[in-house]
Amino acid sequence: MTTQELYEVLTLKSDWVPPEDVYYQKLGRVLREMRVAQGISSQEIARNLNIRPDELRGYEDGICEIPVYKLLLLVGYIENPNE
């Protein structure tokens, strides 16, 4: 998943706005795909970003809303895990 694809999810590049639960499910799926593609475990995210593994799972499963600050932390870490 690229930054552009994530941007399109975040900005709803469509005339149709999905229900909130569908939006968070799609966003969570994109985050999981990005994390897995980079070979980053949920435990690594938890350790480095102080996000509990169950909290991350809730975001990735789309059952919890992702606060903007945590979304920025997650995307930044996934894109640049060594910084």
| Per-residue model confidence as pLDDT tens digits over 41-80 | 999 998 999 999 999 999 999 999 999 999 999 999 998 8
CA–CA separation, 14 vs 48, rounded Å? Answer: 34
Exposure string over 9-37, b if 16+ CB within 10 A, otherwise e: beeeeeeeeeeeeebbbebbebbbebbee
Q: How far apart are the first and last CA of the chain?
A: 20
**pLDDT-derived band of residue 5, with 50, 70 and 90 as boundaries?**
low
Contact yes or no for 45/74 (Cβ under 8 A):
yes
* % pLDDT > 70, the chain: 80
Flag whether pLDDT at 1 surpasses 60: no
Contact yes or no for 67/73 (Cβ under 8 A):
no
